[in-house]
Amino acid sequence: MRPDSPSVQRARGSAPVAPHRPYRADASYLSLEDSKGLETGHTGANAASSLGEPRAPAEQRRPPKALAGKTGARGAFWERSGVRLGSRGARGILGVLGVGWERWLGDGLITETFSQQESMNDSRQQSLFFITLPDLHRLCAVRIILSNGVADTEMRSTQVKICRQLLFLHQDILTSPVPEIFTQIWVVMAIPFYKAGKLNAYIEKYGAKVEAPQQVIPVILQNCLSYSLTARLAPAWNKAGHLLVQGREFLSQMGKQSAVVLDINVTETQVCLSIEAYTIRLPPPQLREFDISPSIIKDFETNKNAVIAGHSILSNWCYVLPSMKMGQIISILHTIPPDCPFHSYEDFQMHWDDLYSYKLPENCGTTKIYCNIYFKMIGRRIFTYPLQMLSAHLMIQAYSCPAVIIFNLL
């Protein structure tokens, strides 16, 4: 089944996410902007100029040499003094949002700042980048209200699917689920794009409605930037709690893996991009890790109708992807329960790909293993996961020596 996890606590030292609060839609917002002579009617997938002024000459955009650093093939690099990312690398990260957004935000990326550590004994490094915000009055934000006809159990999945479909359908927009409200979505876009009406045509297919446009404020832009950037980085970088883990095959890797914590904090005048690098171990789970008797495991592996009951699972707590929140294993079985909305392993693959770009392993054999999980915070409802979506443990280390990661974003 499809649980939707509360936000996992962010890594120590990362920028806080601004709390969600209600906003008042201003129906007169567009008419006020029209009086300033904004360009209207510019539509199409390449309407990048509607996101801001034409780009300045290259010599005016280039960061000071002392700040630019040395960049690798894709702009990412490490050095012995700590984790750093060149300005071209940061621009490359912004580029995954689309050409228009890379130009609109990238023109403000004139400062590559320092790598910092909290104490002499702390090897955890943090790279910070500050982006001066262009004129937010050239953008508008709309809130999409989903239909009440969607079942409660499907609402969160529908919310995420619409967010992602809109994001990948139109490069000129940013999207985000409204925090803690499964029936609402934020969309940020240039005013000419809104006036083209493409958003309304898509939303009507889902029976949803679009509220009046309003001015973009920092908390809305922060939520939309964070969600959109994370969604577009996958599956090259995959969400696992507060981490982004590198590689399409991260679910099947036994050894060390590269990961980053990517945080975005938006104020009235600038965006702060914080990047911390880690090595992690997130090996595929083995039944023995949950303190199950070897004889029970052997019987389970040779009998496709066998079920491992909860009382036989002595260590029944586990981490569950993608949130990495903890749940309790109620039972382990080879067949999907009849009340589960998925009827095959392929259904699970499609679901996790649609929602998070996860690529569940193809080579898991003819015998599949599923786990029924109970989350105390959610209540009595039981959720079913493929075993690959669980982890008995997660080991995280900060980089303390030179290493190289290439952000494969192109």
For the stretch 175-213, pLDDT in tens is 999 998 989 999 999 999 999 988 887 888 888 899 999
In contact, 48 and 95? CB cutoff 8 Å: no
What was the pLDDT predicted at 159?
92
pTM of the model as a whole: 0.74
Q: How far apart are CA 209 and CA 201, in angstroms?
A: 10
As a whole number of angstroms, the distance between CA 26 and CA 338 comes to: 48
**Confidence class for position 395, pLDDT limits 50, 70, 90:** confident
> Would you state the pLDDT for residue 79?
31
- Residue 204: the pLDDT is 82
DSSP state of 341: S
Please give the mean pLDDT across all residues of the chain.
74
Q: How far apart are CA 320 and CA 331, in angstroms?
A: 15
Tens of pLDDT, residue by residue over 114-169, are 455 554 455 455 678 888 887 888 899 999 999 876 666 678 888 999 999 999 99
Q: Long-range contacts made by residues 20-27, C-beta under 8 angstroms, separation at least 24? A: 20/178, 20/179, 20/180, 20/181, 20/219, 20/223, 21/219, 23/143, 23/214, 23/217, 23/220, 24/214, 25/143, 25/211, 25/212, 25/213, 25/214, 26/212, 26/213, 26/214, 26/215, 27/212
pLDDT in tens, 16-52: 333 333 323 333 334 333 323 222 233 333 333 345 4
Q: Indicate if the pLDDT at residue 173 is higher than 50.
A: yes
DSSP assignment of 141-197 equals EEEEE--TTS-HHHHHHHHHHHHHHHHHH-TTEEEEEPTT-TTEEEEEEEHHHHHHT
Query: What three-state secondary structure class fits 121?
Result: coil
Listed range (98-107, 241-250, 394-403) with the worst mean pLDDT: 394-403
Least confident window among 72-76, 238-242, 277-281, 288-292: 72-76
Beta-carbon contacts of residue 318 (< 8 Å; ≥ 6 apart): 285, 290, 326, 327, 328, 329, 371, 373, 390, 391, 392
